[in-house]
Amino acid sequence: MQKQIVSVFAIIFLTCLSSATAATFRFIKSQSGPSGKIADNRFVFDEVRNRFVYPQDKSLTVYFEWEAPPGDYTLSAFWKDPEGRVFSISPDIKMQTKTSQLNAYWVYELANGMRNGIWTVEIRIDGEPAGAHSFELMMPEAARVDLSSKPPTLNEIYATASRSLVWIRKMDDVDRQSDTSLGFVIAAGQVVTAFQAVDSATLLEVELSKGRRVTTHELWACNRLQDWAVLKVDTGNTAALRKAESGNVPVGERYLVFNVERNQTRIFGGVDITGRRSVAGFGDRIQIQPSPSQEAVGGPLLTPDGLVAGVVGGSVAPGSRVSRHAMSVSPALWSRLNADSAATPISLVSVLNDGRSATLQSLLDSGVLTPPVTPNPSLIYGGSTRAVSKLANDLTTKDTSEFSHRDVVAWVYTLWQKKDKSGKGVVSAKVYDCRNKLLVDVIPKKVSLSSAVPTRVAFDFALQKFTAGIYRVDVLWNDKPAWRTFLTVMD
């Protein structure tokens, strides 16, 4: 029988306002009880005790006091079962204090399936041990379930999942690395990642465990809008991760992901399931916090048992994963395009059992993949706006990436200045919807760039037939995308 995972809620009370101070904290006391209330900035129990009987006790409260200098702190709580294994982890709590009092309490919900015996909650402040509190839990026979198979520890989950994790690197036309993401082996010959991790690519390098590297230009399957892809890869004897049997991902639970820090250092930690939503046309998304880094996209979202529940990513703006040097959007829209705080449910990922795969080039030719951007040194910058000046040398244009049908038209402009030997070329532009369907095809314009003054190239298009959503604009130099932006149209 599958074990149940309890929910953990952390409540912090203190007076805020201060700057960070080096933490030198002193543990004062800890208490537990079934209930209580806050009084004079402290938690006062209705009854203090360390023994709880389920189901009479539906929850318990544990309270801690420390003496610490005023400053910034991060509190973490690790709940361990009678055998000393981490059973659940509270969300990290960040706080500021202005006095020497540092007080906190956690409410812990009890549920069927928890073990009889002495449980312990261990608290860390800024990653350092800061105290522990033990309590006894009694579960009547009727409330217990068979827990003969021990749940894996965090260390065991990390060790197992790490062996199945891979690096995925996009390679450009001269075999240079242009982007890095994560992926994981889900079956022999199959590596799952986010669609954005393979979009625009014609060749992918996959680095498996122990540093073995293979290249591939084939996919078993992919979905542009749902943001997932399955690569055809010689995985050798690399172990595969197991999928979670249930598609239920409870909001408020603590799940696990691999994050990527500088120098491609992978770290393992918890994220909170903050919501579930269904995006019209894009499918279901699992909302997670904190947001993993861009390089962590494509990695697995793991249950507390180490089973795959989703694929980190969940983008709703296909084609937006390009270098900031190759595109320009408003800060607000950039945040929307790169808010990797979601995951695609693993239940959406599927591969037909017909043995057929598709090449990246064929997917690019058919419009499934987004054309890559080739930055041009002669392009100074560009933007979108509601109106452009009639004076070509007027550089005071007010940029915006958000439009409504009341605007009638949207303008896109670029500024060019000769930076290489040949300053002659053809500038054109195309506007696409999220499915990569061409909506606007701007008539090409021959230009002869000057090294002395910038040349502005601008065009407009009507918005009446555009439904609410995000649209991609590619500006091309000699038929190759040289710059990209996105804009939103609202009702």
- Please report, for the domain that includes residue 103, its CATH number: 2.60.40.1930
Does any domain span residue 421? yes
Average of pLDDT values for 337-353?
Answer: 84
Does any domain span residue 2? no
Model confidence pLDDT, tens digit, residues 56-111: 898 999 999 999 999 888 888 888 988 888 888 877 778 888 888 898 888 898 88
Model confidence pLDDT, tens digit, residues 180-218: 999 999 999 999 999 999 999 999 999 998 899 999 999
**Residue 355, pLDDT score:** 84
Query: Cβ neighbours of residue 296 under 8 Å, at least 6 residues apart?
Result: 181, 182, 257, 258, 259, 260, 312, 340
**Residue 13, pLDDT score:** 39
Helices (H), 309-368: 331-337, 360-365
Query: Cβ neighbours of residue 215 under 8 Å, at least 6 residues apart?
Result: 171, 203, 204, 205, 206
Are residues 185 and 323 part of one domain? yes
Are residues 345 and 289 part of one domain? yes
Q: What is the total count of domains within the chain?
A: 3
Give the rounded percent of residues in the chain with a pLDDT score beyond 70.
Answer: 88
**Bridge partners, residue 45, by sequence:** 36
**Residue 14, pLDDT score:** 35
Does any domain span residue 3? no
Does any domain span residue 423? yes
Across the beta sheet with 480-490, what order do the strands follow? 402-404, 480-490, 469-477, 424-432, 438-448
**Residue 489, pLDDT score:** 94
Residue of 59, 55, 27 lying closest to 46 (CA atoms): 59
**Residue 17, pLDDT score:** 29
**Residue 486, pLDDT score:** 93
Model confidence pLDDT, tens digit, residues 457-491: 999 999 988 999 999 999 999 999 999 999 999 98
Are residues 156 and 135 part of one domain? no
Name the domain boundary from 344, 372, 400.
372
Are residues 431 and 344 part of one domain? no
Dmax over Cα atoms in the chain, in whole Å? 86
Are residues 454 and 385 part of one domain? yes
Average of pLDDT values for 235-250?
Answer: 90
Does any domain span residue 178? yes
Element (H, E) at 483: strand 480-490
Are residues 234 and 135 part of one domain? no
Are residues 165 and 285 part of one domain? yes
Sign of the CA dihedral with 187 first, then 193, 199, and 200 last: negative
pLDDT category, 258, cuts 50, 70, 90? Answer: very high
Confidence check: pLDDT of 381 > 90: no
Q: Which domain does 27 fall in, by range?
A: 8-148
Does any domain span residue 366? yes
Are residues 204 and 169 part of one domain? yes
**Residue 331, pLDDT score:** 57
Model confidence pLDDT, tens digit, residues 8-55: 344 433 333 233 333 478 888 999 999 998 887 788 998 999 999 988
Are residues 180 and 99 part of one domain? no
Residue of 161, 144, 165, 143 lying closest to 152 (CA atoms): 161
Helices (H), 52-128: none
Confidence check: pLDDT of 427 > 90: yes
Average of pLDDT values for 397-407?
Answer: 88
Give the type of residue at 23. Answer: A
Burial (Cβ within 10 Å: 0-12, 13-18, ≥19) of residue 262: exposed
Element (H, E) at 105: strand 101-109
pLDDT category, 299, cuts 50, 70, 90? Answer: very high
Are residues 262 and 178 part of one domain? yes
**Residue 462, pLDDT score:** 94
Name the domain boundary from 372, 389, 415.
372
Model confidence pLDDT, tens digit, residues 300-327: 999 999 999 999 999 999 998 876 556 6
Q: What is the CATH number of the domain that holds 218?
A: 2.40.10.120
Are residues 320 and 304 part of one domain? yes
Give the rounded percent of residues in the chain with a pLDDT score beyond 90.
Answer: 56
Does any domain span residue 1? no
350 half-sphere exposure, CB direction, 13 A CA radius: 5
Are residues 296 and 264 part of one domain? yes
Q: List phi, psi (to 5°) of 333.
A: -70, -35
Name the domain boundary from 372, 407, 426.
372
**Residue 52, pLDDT score:** 93
Does any domain span residue 46? yes
Q: What is the CATH number of the domain that holds 399?
A: 2.60.40.10
Average pLDDT taken over every residue of the chain: 86
Which of 146-160, 179-193, 263-277 shows the lowest mean pLDDT across its residues? 146-160
Rounded CA-CA distance 109/422 in Å is: 70
